[in-house]
Every structure is written in structure tokens, then in C-alpha cells.
Chain A
Amino acid sequence: MQHGKYRFIVGFLAVPLGLYALFVIWPFIQSIYYSFTDWTGLSPEFEMVGLANYERMLDDDIFWKSLQHSLLFALLLPVVTIGLALFFSFMINVGGRRRRGGPAITGVRGSSVYKIVYFFPQVLSIAIVALLFAFAYNPDSGAINSLLRGIGLGELQPLWLGDPDLALWCVMAVLVWSTTGFFVVLFSAGMASIPAELYEAALLDGADRVTTFFRVTLPLLWDTVQSGWVYMGILALGAESFAVVQIMTTGPGGPDYSTTVMVLYVYQKAFRDGQAAYATTIGVALLVVTLAFSAVVLRLGRRERLEY
């Protein structure tokens, strides 16, 4: 298979690699370079300013706020989402009672319906989901507050997105709503590949469901949980949080910067305030946070691989 091999390789790689280098790699390298300049993005002239942008960043209160919010997104969202998803998928796949004549290990009744319904939000655009919930959260005529009025909790009419103490939690709840279903399906697929004998053995030993979950399911599912964790964290730091915060909160960024996250701040500095160089500096900080997050999760989650 040697004849014309290199010509073929070059021919097949040139276009994809070229596109990728031009639109992904090159801007990525450039942005690190720009973070050491005073480039505005509006004119082609700029000068090297050394670490000035980084010094400015360290004194920037809004940057620290956005960092805090992004960290909260990256740490709390995966915990809640993956926790919920683990519970749901365990119930759907293993939690059922044994029905006469059926398999020993089974999900609760209606589990296939749950799987289909739970996955719904995953196929919707995060932008559409954000718009929908922005209406639902509307304090006067939104679905949530009128539901509260309807069930006799009329006294309780939070401002939701308008309340600086609540806005961030409202936004996070939307991300939990939209991503949990994906992990339910992901973990269900993982659980389906765990051999039934292992569960049967646990049953014979008298294990209840809680023990079964922590001693059998979770250890065998650990690799999937971990990659799901990293995936969710990257989403929560990046595109998904950008869309929900930019679309849902006023400003955008919420009252008193209460929902500003790092991605949104990068966007605003670059495309609203004409401070492209400073924006890339915050972008570099975002990159560091993302890499650190993945490294920590992979490191903390390392344990002996279980074979089955």
C-alpha cells in the first residue's frame, strides 16, 4: 500500500487541517499574544504593554466577581446535575421491584417513558431554553409567580432574575433543568453494560438498594461519571453559561453584576467595550481555570480501574 501514499495523506489532510488551523489554532495562539498588548480591536494599531492587562485584571472587582460565579458554576452544577442523574438512572435501571417471571434486575415501571421525557431538553437549543425560562421567571406575569399565586402562595412573589441574591441561582437551575436528562441517558447506557450477575450476587448477600448503589453501581460506573463531570464543568464554564446569562439576565450580567460569568465578561469587553486585548487576558484566565478544573477532577477521581 505504498504507492502514492504520501500524496494521498497530504491531499486528505490539507483541507481539514487547514481550516482547523486557520479558524481554531491560529486565533487561539493569537489571543495569548494579544493579551500582552493594548489592542482595542477597533484599529489595527497596538503596542506591547507587557503584563499591564494582567495587573489590571487582578485589580478588577468585576473580574473577581465573574471568576467567583464561574467557579460556582463549575463546582456546583456538576454536583447537582450528576447527583440527580445518578439517582434517576439508578431508579430507572436497577431500582424496580422484581416482577414475577421477569428479570431479577429491572427498572421501575414506566422507565422507558422517563428516559424519553427526561432527554427532551437536551435536544433544544440552550438559547431557546433560556428565552422560555426568562418568560417563566417574569415577576408579574410569568408562569412561576402566577403558579405561586394559584396555589395560595400569593404573598411569595420573588423578583427572580431581578433580585441580585436570586438571579444566579435561577440561571443555574435552568442549566440543571436542561442537562440532567443527558446524564440520565448516559449513565443508563453505562449501567446497562454492568453484568446482571453482579447485582444478583449483591441481592443474595442481602444488600439493599442504597448499598447496591454505592458498592456495585457507582464503582463500576466511575469512569463514565468522571468524564461526565469534566464535560459538564467545561460546559458550565463555557458556551452554555454564556447563552443563559446573556439571554436571561438584564444588563446582561444581572443586577449589580450578580450573574456575570467569565465568558460573558470576555464577550462584553471585546465586542461592547472595544477592549479586545483585555478581553483576551480574561480569556487566558478562563483557559487556566478550565484546565485546572479538568486536572483536579481527573486527579481526585483517580482510582483503581475495575474490570468486569
Chain B
Amino acid sequence: MKTTQTPAPVPAGEPGAAGPSAAPAGPPAREKKEGTVLNVFSHGILVIWAIMVALPLVWAVMTSFKDDRSIFSSPWSLPDTLHFDNWSRAWTQANMSDYFLNTVLVVGGSLLGTLVLGSMAAYVLARFEFPGNRFIYYLFVGGMSFPIMLALVPLFYVVNNMGLLNTIHGLILVYIAYSLPFTVFFLTAFFRTLPTSVAEAAFVDGASHTRTFFQIMLPMAKPGLISVGIFNFLGQWNQYMLPTVLNTDPDKRVLTQGLVQLAVSQGYKGDWSGLFAGLVMAMLPVLAAYIVFQRQVVQGLTAGALK
């Protein structure tokens, strides 16, 4: 990477060689110096930050292939041999496979539920006028700005009284409820931008409202659904606070919870290499998904904040 710009002697008066600093109005010598110093400095910071971001991840992957002794004696050295047994031990003995399955079930159910229920509510709020429309909209949207922790204490007892504590479907319902504010907010804005004429034509042709929605409007809303879907997928996959409170059964743990528990218990057992393997295992699917769907992920995550 180009971190240093050699201050090669630029022939005086050559235009456009140094970007903004070569603006015709300024005295060339001073401008050039400012440009070079700033360039070296800021390129340096960009590279340092890139290293700071990548290094912990590389370190984790490296560590997951080492044996316990070398993790402690020389944390930065490369593994002597690739200890794949760490990975198989984490997958089977440390229950990572169960945590994965639980997470997939919970996130799969909640994502589907969030998208279906969220788009239903958003569609009605965006396209129909009825008394209370604004009130319900703000009731949903208001949920984005208040601290979840406040509701968590009574929520625990609500979920408990319904017999949903420590169940996968209970967790799914709660995830959906807490994903609705942003989903409704985002999709309401999206449905407003879709043309009315197609839906009206379908309705005139005798399709019911419900049919119009599922067969005409939902397919048209696909780009919006993908964006908000990615946003919710990452949020729900990475959720830690809700399962920590609502899901204390060891068999029902999701990935994040399972790993934290593992870290606590492995501290006594001393299987650090297995824990690192588990950690990397949990990171890999999202990192891989991010690299493949980079553009959509970025759009999905930033779309809401920009609108």
C-alpha cells in the first residue's frame, strides 16, 4: 500500500499533479508541502486503523489452531501445527453445534415473522387512512428510542407468566416484537414510495385487499424487504441482551450466550484453544456472508439511518 509519497521534484507549474493542493490560486511551493505532509500523515492513519481492525481477527483465527500451551507462552507466534482437533472438540463437546442450531431456529423464525408482520403493519399504515393511523405509527416508531433494559424486568415476568420462558418460540415472539419499530418505520416509508396505480388496478379486477398485498405489493417491495431483512438478520443473530435475560436453560442457549458461558466455564477447565475455535466458528458465517453480500449488507445497514 502507498503509505509514503516520495516528494519527487515536480516541475514548477505542472498543473493537476497534486489534486486539491495544486489548485491554481495558491503559491505552488507551500501548497505542495502541505499536500505531502498531510498525505503521508493521513495515509498512515488509514493504514494503522485497517491493521487495528484486522489484527484482532487474524489473531483469533491463528489462536484457534494452536494448542493451549503455546497460546499462553507465545500468543503471537504462528501455530506449530494446525490443531484442527480444537475445532472438532468445540463443535461436538463444547455444544457449539447445539448453539448454532438454536440460533438458526430462533433467527429463522423471527426473521420470517418480523418481515411478514412488519410489512403487513407498514402496508396498512402507509396506504390506508383511518382514525388512529398516526397514533399507531408513532407508537411503533417511538419504540426505537427507548432503552430496552427498562422494559426487560417486567418483560421477564410477562414471558414467564405465559409459560414462554426458556422456549425457542417465546424468544422468537419477543425478537419479533423488538424488531418491529425499525421494520415498520423503514417499510412504511418504502410502501409510500410504491405507485398506487398497480394495486388499484388489481383491486378493480376483483382481487381482495389481502390478495393484492401478497401477490402485488410484496413482490414490488422486494428491495426494501431485503434491506430491512439484512438489518434484522444481523441484529437478531448478534442479539445478546434478550436471550441472556429470557433464556436461562443451558440447552436453549444461542451462540452469543453459549460462547460467553463457555468462556466462563472453560476458565476452570482450561480448554482455551477449544474456546477460540468456537469464537472463530461463530464469527465465520457472518464474515463470509458480509464478504459475499457486501453491497447489500452495507445498504441494508445504512439505509435506515439515511432516510
Residues of A whose CB lies within 8 Å of any CB of B are 1, 4-6, 8-9, 11-13, 15-17, 19-20, 22-28, 30-31, 34, 41, 84, 87-88, 91-92, 95-98, 100, 106, 108-110, 113-114, 116-128, 131-136, 140-143, 146-147, 150, 177, 180-182, 185-186, 189-190, 203-209, 212, 224, 227-228, 231, 234, 237-239, 242-243, 246-247, 263, 266-267, 270-271, 276, 279-280, 283-284, 286-287, 290-291, 294
Least distance between B169 CB and chain A CB atoms (Å): 12
The reply on B78 being an interface residue by CB < 8 A is: no
| Cβ-based interface call for B8 (8 A) | no
> Of A186, A238, A263, which is within 8 A of B302 by CB?
A186
By the criterion CB–CB under 8 Å, are A114 and B46 in contact? yes
Partner of B57, one of A19, A109, A120, A209: A120
Pick from A132, A243, A279: contact of B240, CB below 8 A: A243
Classify the interface of chain B: helix, strand, loop or mixed. helix
Known A34-B153, A146-B76, A283-B153: A9·B130 in contact at CB below 8 Å: yes
**B279 close to A126 (CB less than 8 A):** no
How many B residues touch the partner, as a band? 35 or more
A97 and B147 in contact, given A23-B177, A120-B287 (Cβ under 8 angstroms): no
Contacting pair B150 A284 (CB below 8 A): yes
B152: interface (CB < 8 Å): yes
Interface set, chain B 1-47, CB cutoff 8 A to A: 1-2, 16-26, 31, 34-35, 38-39, 42-43, 45-46
- Residue contact B46 to A133, C-beta cutoff 8 Å: no
Residues A204 and B23 in contact, CB atoms below 8 Å apart = yes
Check A13 against B121 for contact (C-beta < 8 Å).
yes
Q: Is B197 an interface residue (CB 8 A)?
A: no
- Interface: B75 (CB within 8 A): yes
Asked if A27 meets B209 with Cβ closer than 8 Å, knowing A247-B260, A290-B146, the reply is no
The residue that A123 contacts in the complex, of B125, B234, B256, with Cβ under 8 A, is B234
Contact pick for A34, options B75, B146, B154, CB 8 Å:
B154
B38-63 CB mask vs A (1 if < 8 Å, else 0) is: 11001101100110111011011001
Binding site for A on B (CB under 8 A): 1-2, 16-26, 31, 34-35, 38-39, 42-43, 45-46, 49-50, 52-54, 56-57, 59-60, 63, 71-76, 117-118, 120-121, 123-125, 128, 130, 136, 139-140, 143, 145-159, 173-174, 176-178, 180-181, 184, 200, 203, 208-210, 213, 234, 237-241, 244-245, 255-257, 259-260, 263, 276, 279, 282-283, 286-287, 289-291, 294, 297-298, 301-302, 305-306
11 contacts between A and B (CB under 8 A): A12-B121, A20-B143, A24-B178, A31-B150, A98-B17, A110-B1, A113-B50, A116-B294, A147-B76, A189-B302, A263-B147
Closest 3 CB pairs of A and B: A206-B25, A97-B19, A125-B238
Determine if B148 and A238 form an interchain contact, defined as CB atoms under 8 angstroms apart.
Answer: yes
Q: Across the two chains, which residue of chain B brings its CB closest to A239?
A: B241
A17-B121 contact, Cβ under 8 Å, with A266-B153, A267-B149: yes
Quick one: given A87-B45, A143-B75, A209-B38, are A96 and B19 in contact (CB under 8 Å)?
yes
